[in-house]
Structure 1
Amino acid sequence: MNLLIGVLIAIGFFFVLQYGMVLKMRMKKGKPAPELSGKYDRALKNGGAALFYFYSDGCGACKPMTPLFDEFSSTRKNVFKVNISNDMATARKFGVMGTPSTVLVRDGKIAEFLVGPQPRERIEALLPGR
């Protein structure tokens, strides 16, 4: 009985942490985008909008989304794949706490912050320059 209660408490704690992380990320909507450098900064200044996909190589939930962003980033100049293993600084600036995360920046503000895998239709609706 004590083991069952312990397991239920652990599961509940896990879900509370997950919900808290998602809520914290979603609260970033409407906030100013972080100061970026290089190609990211140029894209925001030139086009006004950019879509960032944060992923990691070992992320199982990223596997279905990464090919979509391979396609989108090769045909659109303001769509960026950010591998947090190689570019943790950019992920930290946005406050990314888990992968996959998708962030739309428009007019200098975070317009959308999605956590977890998303369907193709949802990503296409976010693409800059539509």
Structure 2
Amino acid sequence: MNLLIGVLIAIGFFFVLQYGMVLKMRMKKGKQAPELSGKYDRALKNGGAALFYFYSDGCGACKPMTPLFDEFSSTRKNVFKVNISNDMATARKFGVMGTPSTVLVRDGKIAEFLVGPQPRERIEALLPGR
């Protein structure tokens, strides 16, 4: 009986942490986008909107989304794949706490912050310059 209670508490704790992370990321909507440099900064200043996809090579949930962003980033100039293993600084600036995360920045503000795998249709609806 004690083992069952321990397992249920652990599962509950896990879900509370996950929900807290998602809630914290969603609260970033409407906030000012962080100061960026290089190609990210140029895209935001020139185009006004950019879509950032944060992933890591070891992320199982990222596997179905990464080919979508390969396609989108090769055909659209303001779509960026950010591998957090190589560019943790950008992920930290946005406050990314888990992968995959997708962030839409429009007019200098975070317009959308999605956590977890998303269907193609949802991502296409976010694409800048549609």
Q: TM-score scaled by structure 1?
A: 1.00
**What is the CA deviation profile of residues 17-61 of structure 1, one whole-angstrom value per residue up to 9, with x for unaligned ones?**
000000000000000000000000000000000000000000000
Gaps of 5+ in 1: none
**What is the CA deviation profile of residues 43-99 of structure 1, one whole-angstrom value per residue up to 9, with x for unaligned ones?**
000000000000000000000000000000000000000000000000000000000
Q: TM-score scaled by structure 2?
A: 1.00
2:124 & 2:65 partners in 1: Cα distance? 12
Does 2:66 align with 1:66?
yes
2:122 & 2:8 partners in 1: Cα distance? 34
Deviation at 1:122, TM superposition (A): 0.1
Percent identity of paired positions between Structure 1 and Structure 2: 99
For the aligned residue pairs, the C-alpha RMSD in angstroms reads 0.2
2:16 & 2:45 partners in 1: Cα distance? 38
**What is the CA deviation profile of residues 1-27 of structure 1, one whole-angstrom value per residue up to 9, with x for unaligned ones?**
000000000000000000000000000
1:78 & 1:85 partners in 2: Cα distance? 21
| Alignment partner, residue 46 of structure 1 | 46
Gaps of 5+ in 2: none
Deviation at 1:124, TM superposition (A): 0.1
